[in-house]
Amino acid sequence: MSPSEWIDRKNWTVAEGIDHLFKQAEHAKKLDKEVSSSQESDGIMSSENRQERRREEARKVFQIGVRWIQRMGDPSEAALLERISLFWHGHFACESKLGALAIKQLELFRAYGLGHFRDLLLAVSRDPAMIRYLNNQQNRKDSPNENYARELMELFTIGRGNYTENDVKEAARAFTGWSSNLRGEYVFRRFQHDYGRKTFMGRSGNFDGADIIDIILERKETAYFLTQKIYRYFVSDEPHERRIRQLAEGFYRSDYHIGNLLRHIFSSEWFYEPENIGQRIKSPVELLAGMIKHLRMSDLDPRALFGIQRALGQQLFKPPNVAGWPGGKQWIDNATLLLRLNLAAAVFKGIELDVNLRPELEQSQGRNLRGINATIDLLPISKLLDHVSDRDIYFALADYLLDAKVPPPPSDILSTRLNRAQIISRSCLQLMSLPEYQMC
């Protein structure tokens, strides 16, 4: 939350807060046409041109990611919508190589991400970026490609152990012909579709992809699989079996209404218990967005943003594989932890970062991450502290910046040599350098 939001909402009831989140999401702006539409490179292009085109598209995709992080860090944007979109991006992990396809997919998460899961899943199954990523344009009647059908069940809906190899084969047949054209639009290729009879999860019929989805959604295991994932993302890295079962039951009965599930979570008393607060390690993107929001950062150097995302292991539209970012403790190793803890000091220009990024596999030159050039604005935070005495600033800020208990302030913050502005800035920097700031 930004400082002003925090002041506004301090006196709200939980119900008011939740309503506000959903209202914001409903009225969110459509993403402006952030990229010009991308044409597929055609066969006559030289390989140099094609490479140049690829680079150009990679830049567009990166820019879309940058704007997304900025929106996540912008208090006037719909926080819940951005969060759930990031969740779905990790769930339906997909690498987008064309700017136009990346934005299309993101619009899809924004349009359906809080509604009925079936609508979302159908839209994803027809999403050109996903179709390409999981090779469904090669899924044809005479030579089925099982990639999408397999991940649909293993990762997107029901999880391992709840279907057979034969189910994968039959589902793949049902999705034959779900393809995309050169303009990056979904097309159904009639002549590639297998109209024959399929047997899937014990049922038989002339199923197509939508029927397969319906059959999968009839299974309660699907509601459970999705709920535990949402619980991990919104509540805690530590699963709570009984609660997840209960939530999943409600989710199933609501016909997989995602917004309802979230309302249910947010209005549960346990959601506000200390054991569930500050329990998750922020993902790199969440960490960055949080810093932008807290410090009202602007003029952020995109190269620094790129470097940090890469060094910390989360590049938007470039998940490690279709299983998404593993998350939790997997974010942390000695290198990522040190960089995370040193980020605030770099933003406050207290230290220079000095990280050599290895080259990407197809490149020969690495990059250096030296610093973060950004403007920060501590005025909103200072307003928040209007009625707080100098001595209490550190704790008041801790209350705002962290979801965890904090160690006592270093003695120099309480020394009388600092003026008020210095105390505020020192306290922010100190608190944001704590491991506790990595948690949410």
Partner 1 sequence: MKRRSFIQTSGLASASMLTPAFLRAGLRPSNSSRQGKILVVVQLSGGNDGLNTIVPFGDDIYYRARPSLSIPPAEVLKLNDYQGLHPALSPLRNLYDRGELAILNGVGYPEPDRSHFRSMDIWQTGSSSRENCSTGWLGRYLDHLPRDQHAYHALEVDDGLSLAMKGELQRGFAMSDPNRLRRSVRNPLLPDQAHTHVHEHHTVSYLYETLTRTTEAADYLYEQSGIYRSRQSYPIGRFGRDLKRVAELITADTDTQVYYLSLSGFDTHARQQGPHQRLLAQYAKGMSAFVADLVENDLFKEVIIMTFSEFGRRLAQNGSGGTDHGTANNVLVMSGGLKRAGILNAPSSLSRLDAGDLIFDVDFRRLYATLLDRWLGAPANQILNGHFEAIDFI
Contacts with partner 1 by CB under 8 A lie at: 47-48, 155, 237-238, 274, 278-281, 311, 313, 320-323, 326, 329-330, 332-339, 341-342, 344-345, 350-351, 354-359, 361-364, 366, 404-405, 407, 429-430, 433-436, 438-439
- The DSSP line for 314-366 is --TT--SSTT----GGGG--HHHHHHHHHHHHHHTTSS---EEEPPPTT-S--
Q: In the bound complex, what is the minimum distance in angstroms from residue 225's beta carbon to partner 1?
A: 16
**Residue closer to partner 1 (CB basis): 162 or 336:** 336
Least Å from the CB of residue 148 to partner 1: 14
Q: Which two tokens stand for residue 214?
A: 């319906």
Q: Which is nearer to partner 1, 205 or 350 (CB)?
A: 350
Distance CA 213, CA 201 (A): 11
Q: How far is the CB of 394 from partner 1 (least distance, A)?
A: 13
* Residue nearer to partner 1 on the CB measure, 11 or 364: 364
CA-wise closest residue to 374 among 350, 397, 338, 346 = 346
What's the min distance (Å) between Cβ of 111 and partner 1? 27
Q: Toward partner 1, which CB reaches closer, 298 or 368?
A: 368
187 or 404: whose CB is closer to partner 1? 404
Rank residues 114 and 295 by Cβ distance to partner 1 and give the closer one: 295
Q: How many residues does the chain have?
A: 440
CB-based contacts of 34, cutoff 8 Å, min separation 6: 63, 64, 67, 99, 103
The Cα–Cα gap between 18 and 268 comes to: 11
Q: How far is the CB of 191 from partner 1 (least distance, A)?
A: 25
Nearer Cβ to partner 1 (351/379): 351
Residue 115: both structure tokens together: 């509604």
As measured in angstroms, the least distance from the Cβ of 326 to partner 1 is: 4
DSSP code at position 368: E
Between 145 and 260, CB nearer to partner 1: 145
The rounded distance, in Å, linking the Cα atoms of 307 and 376 is 19
Pairing verdict, β 355-357 and 203-205: unpaired
Nearer to partner 1, 180 or 309 (CB): 309
Indicate the residue type of 204: S
User: What H or E segment, with its residue span, contains residue 207?
Assistant: none
Please report, for residues 41, 100, 110, 318, the alpha-carbon distance to residue 97 in angstroms, rounded to integers and kept in the order given. 12, 9, 20, 9
CB of 132 to partner 1, least distance (A): 12
Cα distances (Å, whole numbers) of residue 429 to 75, 112, 180, 436: 21, 38, 49, 13
Name the minimum Å distance from CB 257 to partner 1.
Answer: 29
E strand or H helix at 198, and its extent? strand 198-200
Pinpoint the alpha helices (H) of 27-176. 47-72, 79-91, 99-112, 117-125, 128-133, 147-151, 165-174
Closest distance between partner 1 and the C-beta of residue 47, in Å? 6
Shortest Å distance, C-beta 434 to partner 1: 6
Burial of 342 (0-12, 13-18, 19+ CB in 10 A): middle
H/E stretch holding 179: strand 178-180
Tell me the closest approach of the beta carbon of residue 417 to partner 1, in angstroms: 17
For residue 251, the surrounding DSSP H or E stretch is: helix 241-253
Instruction: CB nearer to partner 1: give 166 or 298.
Output: 166
Neighbours of 264 (CB within 10 A): 17
Closer of 205 and 320 to partner 1 (Cβ): 320
